[in-house]
Structure 1
Amino acid sequence: MNILTAISGLWIALGVVVIVVLYVVMAYNGLVSQRNLVEEAFSTMDVYLKKRYDLIPNLVETVKGYAKHESGTLEAVISARNKAVNATTDEARLQAEGDLSQVMGRLFALTESYPDLKANTNFLDLQNQLKLIETEIAQSRKYYNGTTRDFNTKIETFPSVIIANMFGFKRKPLYEVNNETERENVKVSF
């Protein structure tokens, strides 16, 4: 009977080990999958941001012809664009993007002072392209934040937090509006 009990205990212990190993593998794979979704969401947002980066110099050049004495605003737009393009971390990129969005609002506010600019077909075309891109960026930010929220929740809840800590999964930053003035409505009329 003792040998039978020992063998039964061995099978039970082996079963528990197999279950634990299977859980670790499944949890790890789930975390990797979720992290990849976050990275894909950030990459998607990055594609739209690149489109905006490419469009901004054309927009600034068009405005320059009409608003020569508004160089401070135009330089701020280019500076914010360059800061966003050259950001090296996700956190820095997200912060720079917020700054760029704010300064772009000031650029479009300039059109109030320049009626000829509002009638320029090149400017209107660039403005419409930028409007479309901004909508795409907003959608990609929502997707990024949703996947990031799910990933962060998964790595912070029990029992997957144990696996996340064992394998070095770190919290990802959300895209947030950090500048309180950016939360205010910008008056832009065309």
Structure 2
Amino acid sequence: MKKLGIGCGILVGVGIVLLIIVLGAAASYNRLVKLSQAVDNQWAQVQNVYQRRLDLIPNLVATVSGAANFEKSTLTEITQARASVGQLKLDPNSAPTDPAKLAEFEKAQGALSTALSRLLVVVERYPELRATENFRDLQAQLEGTENRIAVERARFNEAVRAYNTEIKSFPALLYAGLLGFREKPYFTAAAGAETPPKVQFDFGTHAPAQNQSQN
């Protein structure tokens, strides 16, 4: 009887330990799901602000192309960069798990950012264009959008950091891979990426010295 009692006690102890493990695993799993959804939600916000920028470009190009003798090569560059971004095939509601896919997305968006910066530098040579209400409005919208892009990228990286930290922590590291939870890639921080491109102009003055130095 004494041995039977000891055996029952051991079984009860093992059962309690298993129950604790199961409950802990369930709680950890639920947290992983929540963190993964947070990454996807933030990815959707990133996509929204990039799409907002994409939507501004046709009006911007149409506005500046009306200026006499405006550099056509600059317009061609930005149009091609916009087309490249439009060809990207990424789920807007699910963050990419393949680093190569995110890198491709970043490369295309980076090329568009560069083209936009060049366009805005060229526009500085056209004071009449810069003074129009339509251009001023587009410039203000673009500036706000670039700021939002920087903010949403940072928030996305923070959501990914929290998720990746969780799947590497106990007890999630024991089963995360088996349940399909994989590490997610971050946006890379290229030089100057923490500062949005400046699209503000001094509408009251020219900047001939700066422009000549860049030509």
| Same fold flag (TM > 0.5) | yes
Aligned partners of 1:182, 1:103: CA distance in 2, in Å? 15
List 4+ stretches of structure 1 deviating above 6 A.
181-187
1:167 to 179, 204, 207: 179
Aligned partners of 1:184, 1:122: CA distance in 2, in Å? 26
Kept in 1, the 8 Å contact 2:64–2:70? The answer is no
Q: How does 1:42-53 map to 2 (within 5 A)?
A: 42-53=43-54
1:67 CA drift (Å): 5.9
Kept in 2, the 8 Å contact 1:94–1:175? The answer is yes
1:22 CA drift (Å): 1.0
The answer for the alignment partner of 2:60 in structure 1 is 59
The answer for the alignment partner of 1:3 in structure 2 is 4
The answer for the alignment partner of 1:88 in structure 2 is 89
How large is the Cα RMSD of the aligned pairs? 2.3
Q: Is 1:75 aligned with 2:76? A: yes
The answer for the alignment partner of 2:114 in structure 1 is 102
Aligned partners of 1:175, 1:67: CA distance in 2, in Å? 39
1:125 corresponds to which letter in structure 2?
A: D
Structure 1 window deviating more from structure 2 (15-24 vs 158-167): it is 158-167
Structure 1 window deviating more from structure 2 (157-166 vs 8-17): it is 157-166
Structure number with higher helix proportion: 1
User: In 2 relative to 1, CA 174–26 (structure 1 residues): closer, same or farther, beyond 3 Å?
Assistant: same
1:71 CA drift (Å): 2.0
Q: How does 1:102-121 map to 2 (within 5 A)?
A: 102-121=114-133
User: In 2 relative to 1, CA 143–185 (structure 1 residues): closer, same or farther, beyond 3 Å?
Assistant: closer
The answer for the alignment partner of 1:131 in structure 2 is 143
2:4 corresponds to which letter in structure 1?
A: I
Name structure 1 gaps, 5 residues minimum.
none
Aligned partners of 1:19, 1:185: CA distance in 2, in Å? 48
The alignment covers a number of residue pairs equal to 189
Kept in 2, the 8 Å contact 1:38–1:144? The answer is yes
1:79 corresponds to which letter in structure 2?
A: Q
1:85 CA drift (Å): 2.6
Aligned partners of 1:183, 1:138: CA distance in 2, in Å? 7
1:44 CA drift (Å): 1.0
2:5 corresponds to which letter in structure 1?
A: L
1:68 CA drift (Å): 4.6
Aligned partners of 1:184, 1:153: CA distance in 2, in Å? 26
1:163 CA drift (Å): 2.5
Kept in 2, the 8 Å contact 1:109–1:187? The answer is no
User: In 2 relative to 1, CA 68–87 (structure 1 residues): closer, same or farther, beyond 3 Å?
Assistant: farther
Aligned partners of 2:143, 2:59: CA distance in 1, in Å? 14
Aligned partners of 2:53, 2:60: CA distance in 1, in Å? 10
Give 3-state SS (helix, strand or coil) of 2:66's partner: helix
Q: What is the CA deviation profile of residues 19-65 of structure 1, one whole-angstrom value per residue up to 9, with x for unaligned ones?
A: 11111111111111001001100101111111111111110111111
TM-score by length of 2: 0.79
Name structure 2 gaps, 5 residues minimum.
91-95, 97-101, 203-215
Aligned partners of 1:150, 1:186: CA distance in 2, in Å? 28
Give 3-state SS (helix, strand or coil) of 1:142's partner: helix
